[in-house]
Structure 1
Amino acid sequence: MPELVVIAEQLLAPVPGGTGRYTAELLRALAETVPDGWTLASVVARHADVEAARVPGVDGPRVLALPPRALVAAWQLGLPWWPGGDAVHATTPLAPPRAPRGRRLSVTVHDTVPWTHPETLTPRGVSWHQKVIARAARRADALVVPTQAVADDLGARVAGKAPVHVIGHGVTDLPGEPVDLLLPAEYVLAIGTVEPRKGIGLLIEAMARFDGPPLLLAGQPGWGELDPAELAREHGLPADRLRVLGRLTDAELAAALRGASVLAMPSLAEGFGLPVLEAMAAGVPVVHSDVPALVEVSGGAARVVPSGDVGALAAALREVLGSPSLSATMRTSGLTRSAEFSWRSAGQALWSVHTAALPEPGPEFGGSSPHLS
């Protein structure tokens, strides 16, 4: 039987972030929607412990012989190491340079930040992403993007033959059991890796411009070495109005979402904006920047402010917090909008990318990779 192999390396990254969430949820959805006659497996680089990449219903993770840095270098140099399977899906641009004859490769490109906001990444990260995404556009059999906004911008920046499929994310089924995080009665919540492009500094400055509830930040520190406490001191936000929650479990994230008065996402750039969708699904009003992908995802159900406009962000937050009727209207609109997205639909759409185009299995199909350890 033909096999789809998913590269799940992001699940083992030091800071998995939104792409880690995407990888885990997509794998679960693919496992629930395996077409008749197909099998599903995952693969990772060599790590001492790969338990975090294990997903029920998915064979693996199979472990490649190369450790992470060596695998990145090998594929960046164009070495044709195929991780096995008749079709491979890379959940990030970390992917083989091309598929062997008779096999098929698809690659998810989450955003165009390396071109639009290179200052929010390391120079090495910008160079790597631009090169491997451009190569995937030329050599992969398909590119997957989360929004039409990314598809349009990518098409304007990268030339290639690979067809682009817009496959949105879904709403994560977060645990419902109560978790005591000692949360305040009212608060503004921000979810995401604490790094420059998430607009954390803008949000802290906006919060300091009005008296109100505290700001809670949920997410691991990322690139850029942002210090929220120092930013609060710089902008005059009292220490008791800022709380850094750090990385949360799914149960803790669910509790933080359900208790929030409003979710703020003033990002400078996004490819999808999963916290926007998850907040709307939890009945939480959302205020976000006018980044095209966020506008596309919220679909008119959120309050949108110009990117980088601290005054507009402060005014929108103050308005939503101060108007129960507006909050109620936004909750209803958000619940309706979020119901249009599901991980199951995403899994089915990705399967169709491969099942609609893969030829019948022949002598060159199947078998394991000689690079598996």
Structure 2
Amino acid sequence: MTAEVPLRIALLSYKGNPYCGGQGVYVRHLSRELARLGHDVEVIGAQPYPVLDEIPGVRLTELPSLDLYRQPDPFRTPKREEIRDWVDALEVGTMWTGGFPEPVTFSLRARRLLAARRGDFDVIHDNQTLGYGLLGGPRALGAPLVTTIHHPITVDRRLDLAAAADWKRRASVRRWYGFTTMQKRVARRLPSVITVSGSSRDEITADLGVRPDRIHVVPIGADVGLFSPDPSVPVVPGRIVTTSSADVPLKGLIHLVEALAKVRTEQPQAHLVVVGKRADDGPVAAAIERYGLGDAIRFVKGISDAELVDLVRGAEIACVPSLYEGFSLPAAEAMATGTPLVATTGGAIPEVSGPDGETCLAVPPGDAGALAAALVRLLGDPGLGRRLGAAGRERILARFTWAAAARGTAEHYRAAIAAAPARPAARPRPQQESPC
């Protein structure tokens, strides 16, 4: 296969919600930019189904699960007639016993689909499923496999265990994350792994045991056409915006709540807008009540792309308080709008946000006092904010765009195809040139 021939790509995503977590965002933007390079991308996904841009060369094939975690009835018990086969039974049984079944059950369903469509694809790209069903190489799957690991979920497991209040909660966390044992076993057998940062590469080697020579860093980025400055959007005095799930310890929201309480003693107009779901109880809800911040913190969810961009444009500060990130799309997107950023140094965040005092203000993860000091500093110095915002956007334009991510990913597709054993000739297709 030559560089001039477009590729037929199967892009697998066991969870594709573009408004909750980074996997859906990754699938949406990468598929679009791969298609713009001339490739044919078939996204194969389960519920919540990926939302894709409607452009030629991108299409969705639905591979339904039992959707056991859907709203408004998560952890539901399906009706007997919904159980189609042994994979469905495995999904229900794992959920009933406190585990998370979707990675393994999606991989088994994907294996069946790919086997039935042997010859339809030049390469298969798995978006962090890491399930047993994806083992066996081109002979079993019909095409070479490339896998993206954004960061090892073992990191989430470790932080959730550290935050668990008692032995019952720790036992529940261990059972929920039982699938990480499978992901470790599968990851070690993968021929080609793409990850999004140097920090994630090191974690994948340390936590999953993947050989470093099999891991390739291809940074992702912001949609710089959408996330861009707009002087016509008024800045709301005191607005701080963050993207976070309320009680996911990894996201560090509780430390930002504590910091806001400190900030408001010096900057009473300071308030927080959280893009994410409000928890009715738990550590964050308790902290909001304890510090009397009910009127100073607003949660928004389900907003459109345009509403999200204007929300960030209208903030005095964007904040990423995470204890760890494998990349940090919220940091890249905020910087692309020219909004000044306060971010921790957790995981790969510094690879995105850049040097402290040049493109952002950086603080140690989990340090509410340092976070508050940085927020007060920026709120009191508009000139510093303008300088950081402009430098931040230039950094994103130069280093972190989806077009660059697609080009880098396509290079690794071709390398995987070249390294795979020879396969029988696929069905004929029209010859056309691709710009990649």
- TM-score calculated relative to the size of structure 1: 0.83
Kindly state the Cα deviation for residue 100 of structure 1 after the two structures are TM-superposed: 2.6
User: Pick from 252, 267, 277: which aligns with 1:220?
Assistant: 277
User: Pick from 394, 415, 420: which aligns with 1:356?
Assistant: 415
User: Pick from 232, 238, 243: which aligns with 1:191?
Assistant: 243
Aligned length: 357
For 2:22, give the aligned amino acid. G
| Distance in 2 between residues matched to 1:139 and 1:81, nearest whole Å | 20
User: Pick from 286, 290, 296: which aligns with 1:241?
Assistant: 296
After TM superposition, the structure 1 = structure 2 runs for residues 238-317 of structure 1, keeping only pairs within 5 Å, are: 239-300=294-355, 301-317=359-375
The worse-fitting range, judged by mean Cα deviation, of 243-252 and 272-281 is 243-252
| Distance in 2 between residues matched to 1:55 and 1:225, nearest whole Å | 39
Query: Does the C-alpha gap of structure 1 residues 177 and 152 become closer, same or farther in structure 2, counting only changes over 3 Å?
Result: closer
Aligned to 2:226: 174
Structure 1 counterpart SS, 2:16: helix
Query: Does the C-alpha gap of structure 1 residues 130 and 274 become closer, same or farther in structure 2, counting only changes over 3 Å?
Result: farther
Aligned to 1:344: 403
Identity of aligned residues (%): 27
- Unpaired runs of 5+ in structure 2? 1-5, 69-87, 89-101, 162-172, 429-436
The worse-fitting range, judged by mean Cα deviation, of 227-236 and 86-95 is 227-236
Q: Is the 8 A contact 1:167 1:346 kept in 2?
A: yes
| Distance in 2 between residues matched to 1:58 and 1:118, nearest whole Å | 40
1:154-203, CA deviations, whole angstroms, 9 ceiling, x for partnerless residues? Answer: 1122223571111111112327899xx99844301111333221111110
| Distance in 1 between residues matched to 2:339 and 2:370, nearest whole Å | 20
Query: Does the C-alpha gap of structure 1 residues 321 and 158 become closer, same or farther in structure 2, counting only changes over 3 Å?
Result: same
| Distance in 2 between residues matched to 1:292 and 1:72, nearest whole Å | 24
Kindly state the Cα deviation for residue 264 of structure 1 after the two structures are TM-superposed: 1.1
| Distance in 2 between residues matched to 1:288 and 1:127, nearest whole Å | 31
- TM-score calculated relative to the size of structure 2: 0.72
Kindly state the Cα deviation for residue 210 of structure 1 after the two structures are TM-superposed: 2.5
Kindly state the Cα deviation for residue 77 of structure 1 after the two structures are TM-superposed: 7.3
Matched, 1:97 2:134: yes
| Distance in 2 between residues matched to 1:271 and 1:123, nearest whole Å | 21
Aligned to 1:371: none
Matched, 1:107 2:147: yes
Q: Is the 8 A contact 2:251 2:322 kept in 1?
A: yes
For 1:131, give the aligned amino acid. M
Aligned to 2:203: 153
1:278-309, CA deviations, whole angstroms, 9 ceiling, x for partnerless residues? Answer: 11111111111111300111121211111111
| Distance in 2 between residues matched to 1:165 and 1:175, nearest whole Å | 27
For 2:9, give the aligned amino acid. L
| Distance in 2 between residues matched to 1:5 and 1:329, nearest whole Å | 43
For 2:292, give the aligned amino acid. G
Matched, 1:10 2:15: yes
1:236-265, CA deviations, whole angstroms, 9 ceiling, x for partnerless residues? Answer: 33x321111123210110110100101111
1:5-42, CA deviations, whole angstroms, 9 ceiling, x for partnerless residues? Answer: 001342258x632221112111111111135xxx3212
Matched, 1:325 2:383: yes
1:107-134, CA deviations, whole angstroms, 9 ceiling, x for partnerless residues? Answer: 11111342465243843443213422x2
After TM superposition, the structure 1 = structure 2 runs for residues 11-30 of structure 1, keeping only pairs within 5 Å, are: 11-12=16-17, 16-30=20-34
Matched, 1:40 2:41: yes
| Distance in 2 between residues matched to 1:329 and 1:347, nearest whole Å | 30
Q: Is the 8 A contact 2:35 2:58 kept in 1?
A: no
Q: Is the 8 A contact 1:10 1:23 kept in 2?
A: no
Kindly state the Cα deviation for residue 344 of structure 1 after the two structures are TM-superposed: 0.7
Kindly state the Cα deviation for residue 318 of structure 1 after the two structures are TM-superposed: 0.5
Aligned to 1:61: 60
Q: Is the 8 A contact 1:107 1:143 kept in 2?
A: yes
Task: Tell me: higher relative CO, structure 1 or 2? Use CA pairs within 8 A at least 6 residues apart.
Answer: 1
For 2:374, give the aligned amino acid. A
Structure 1 counterpart SS, 2:424: coil
Matched, 1:231 2:271: no
Query: Does the C-alpha gap of structure 1 residues 63 and 210 become closer, same or farther in structure 2, counting only changes over 3 Å?
Result: closer
Query: Does the C-alpha gap of structure 1 residues 234 and 365 become closer, same or farther in structure 2, counting only changes over 3 Å?
Result: farther
Q: Is the 8 A contact 1:88 1:106 kept in 2?
A: yes
Kindly state the Cα deviation for residue 364 of structure 1 after the two structures are TM-superposed: 6.2
For 2:29, give the aligned amino acid. E
Q: Is the 8 A contact 1:193 1:219 kept in 2?
A: yes
| Distance in 2 between residues matched to 1:68 and 1:145, nearest whole Å | 28
The worse-fitting range, judged by mean Cα deviation, of 96-105 and 189-198 is 96-105
Q: Is the 8 A contact 1:92 1:109 kept in 2?
A: yes
Query: Does the C-alpha gap of structure 1 residues 7 and 236 become closer, same or farther in structure 2, counting only changes over 3 Å?
Result: same
Matched, 1:208 2:261: yes
| Distance in 2 between residues matched to 1:366 and 1:12, nearest whole Å | 33
Structure 2 counterpart SS, 1:89: strand
Greater radius of gyration (CA): 2
The worse-fitting range, judged by mean Cα deviation, of 69-78 and 307-316 is 69-78
Query: Does the C-alpha gap of structure 1 residues 92 and 147 become closer, same or farther in structure 2, counting only changes over 3 Å?
Result: same
